[in-house]
Amino acid sequence: MMGPTYQPSTIAILKHLQEHGPLTVDEFGKLKHIGTTAPGVRVASMVKRGTVARVDMSRPARYAITKRGLEAVTAVANGQGNLVPRTLIPVARTPAIPQTAHLLPAPACRASVDTYKALELRPFDGRPGAMDAFALPSRMGTTLHYRDGRSEAAL
């Protein structure tokens, strides 16, 4: 009969807890063997399995290895527990199905051809008379300055 199966990173974390004592979630995140799982998710998963438990009600929470966690480390060390293999097993590819949707004619939409005028795409005319002020000169002292660069003396 085969024993329980454990992630290699889980066993590494349990060994670290066994040697160094309780850790906070932030300290779990700093361990190099945590893997790609977020530290909070990893700790919650280990608490759910019963391999770690909260030490006390301090803030931030500290977690220590439990009796079940010690049994997991011992089982793997004695060959009674299994580690999840790190290599992936290749999966056979299914044969490609030819894609022919692009060869079909596009469905015709007669309503849009006959009635749609696309008024929003016409050039913007603005409000009539809104730009008339730009034809008038600016007065600076006794001189009138026009936008085209010419100047006149004011009367």
| pLDDT exceeds 50 at position 1 | no
| pLDDT exceeds 60 at position 86 | no
The two tokens of residue 68 are 């079940």
pLDDT > 90 fraction of the chain, expressed in percent and rounded? 10
Q: Which domains does the chain have, with CATH numbers?
A: 5-83 (1.10.10.10)
Higher-scoring residue by pLDDT: 29, 84 = 29
**pLDDT number for residue 32:** 72
12-16, 68-72, 90-94, 130-134: lowest mean pLDDT where? 90-94
**pLDDT number for residue 58:** 80
62, 55 contact by CB (below 8 A): yes
Encode burial over 54-93: b for 16+ CB neighbours within 10 A, e otherwise: eeeeeeeebbebbeebebbbebbeeeebeeeeeeeeeeee
User: What is d(CA 108, CA 11) in angstroms, rounded to the nearest whole number?
Assistant: 63
Confidence label for 61 from pLDDT (cuts 50, 70 and 90): confident
pTM above 0.85, yes or no: no
User: What is d(CA 146, CA 150) in angstroms, rounded to the nearest whole number?
Assistant: 6
Q: Kindly write down the DSSP assignment for every residue of the chain, as one continuous string.
A: ----EE-HHHHHHHHHHHHH--EEHHHHHH-TTS-SS-HHHHHHHHHHHTSEEE-SS-SS-EEEE-HHHHHHHHHHHTTSSEEPPSSPPPPPPPPPPPP-GGGSPPPP-HHHHHH---GGGSPP--STTTTGGGGSPEEETTEEE-TTS-EEE--
* Whole-number average pLDDT of the chain: 79
**pLDDT number for residue 78:** 82
Q: What is the pLDDT of residues 91-147, one digit of tens each?
A: 667 777 777 767 777 766 665 556 777 788 888 777 888 888 888 999 999 999 999
Q: What is the pLDDT of residues 25-44, one digit of tens each?
A: 888 788 776 666 787 888 88
